[in-house]
Copies of this chain bind each other. A is one copy, B any other.
């Protein structure tokens, strides 16, 4: 069983509910929507990401022999269930906002319309994928806002939560405006530019720091970024400046990055290394980047690791996948603090004359409204439609960030962006409540 693509990578209750739906013939059309209930503290917007991985999963979802054998031997299901699962394919439609789109609470990122058993089964993995990439893309966008035009590289793989988190964090951060990643696999897998410098161990393994620098510079002529903080940072920069031939740059990974970057810049310039860049890393996040940029620290590029890939200050979003309609009738839940808006929805975004976002309105799909509809069809009858490339999604995300209202571009919590609920939607919610009262 493939630990990434197996359909058993789901909550057990999806399977038990599936059996019950099939037994009862409840295969009517279900409409589920995925959205974020509220923004985490300190976030002013989210950047939607992960749709490509969702479509891969949905299109390829099937129970193989190993999965069916477990279903049979688990003792949890009735004997006929495995044969039903063997036939299961996703045959429905999916609408979604394009990757890189900025979204707000209560706005569907994705809508699934399919026979109930198929639509229900998607829940766990679809949330798992969109949650991860949207979480990281939203954090990455904050880093991009802080860094301005400076370089930003994802350095987070080692403390990402597992293999997939590391690989998809490289993708999500690139989509949201990073320049690349240190994760090698992201190059063949997604075509993302990869970057690397050197580790302290390389310096330590040599008899002297200078010997290590010379060796690395000789191995990667013109492309070596030398790590200078193993023993004494400024002394390290002076040694790095003496290596023969061109020197791409130096990396600072500890200490007072503001002061050290200034001393390093002066040392490099004094040695005639004006073209050598200064790369900084070490527990960076958007707040520290912002402080360094505002202070005028002469840092050309930032490596951001743990805080990016774990979205360390807010490592989760309140993202859910909720039934909005079944068998032609709108549905909602009313649980305390978790009530949902029923029905199939569309989000219309209106713009100010200068192109910035003015307001969004969540409407019923059938309502007319001013503005640009954000949800588009991405899968029809179980077949995906052509999607923008990662490069196109990245350009879209950059354009979205440019059009974000200036008040939302700050790193501090701003007043919420206006997301209105249409009158049609409010009327429907009241009607549903009366019917299930």
Residues of A at the B interface (CB closer than 8 Å) are 1, 3-4, 6, 8-17, 19-21, 23-24, 26, 30, 32, 66-67, 70, 74, 76, 116, 120, 123-125, 127-129, 131-132, 135, 155, 157-168, 182-185, 187-189, 194-205, 215-216, 219-220, 229-233, 253-255, 306, 309-312, 315-317, 319, 322-323, 326-327, 331-338, 436
Contact = CB atoms under 8 A, between A and B. Distances in A.
27 contacts: A9-B184, A10-B183, A11-B182, A11-B183, A13-B198, A13-B199, A15-B196, A16-B219, A17-B202, A17-B216, A20-B219, A24-B219, A30-B201, A124-B158, A131-B158, A159-B316, A161-B162, A162-B163, A200-B333, A203-B333, A229-B335, A231-B334, A232-B334, A254-B337, A254-B338, A255-B337, A315-B315
A195 B74 CA distance: 12
A196 B12 contact: yes
A42 B37 CA distance: 28
Contacts of A128: 157-160, 162-163, 166
A194 B220 CA distance: 51
Contact of A8 (B15, B184, B334): B184
Q: How many copies of this chain are found per oligomer?
A: 2
Contacts of A229: 335-336
Contact of A1 (B185, B196, B332, B337): B185
A230 B20 contact: no
A130 to B, nearest CB: 10
Contacts of A231: 333-335, 436
Contacts of A70: 187-188
Contacts of A199: 13-14, 17, 120, 123
Contact of A11 (B23, B158, B202, B215): B158
Contacts of A323: 200-201, 204-205
A153 to B, nearest CB: 10
Given A11-B196, A204-B323, A205-B331, 5 more contacts: A12-B194, A16-B198, A66-B188, A204-B326, A312-B315
A331 B301 CA distance: 29
A158 B162 CA distance: 15
B204 A331 contact: yes
A15 B203 CA distance: 15
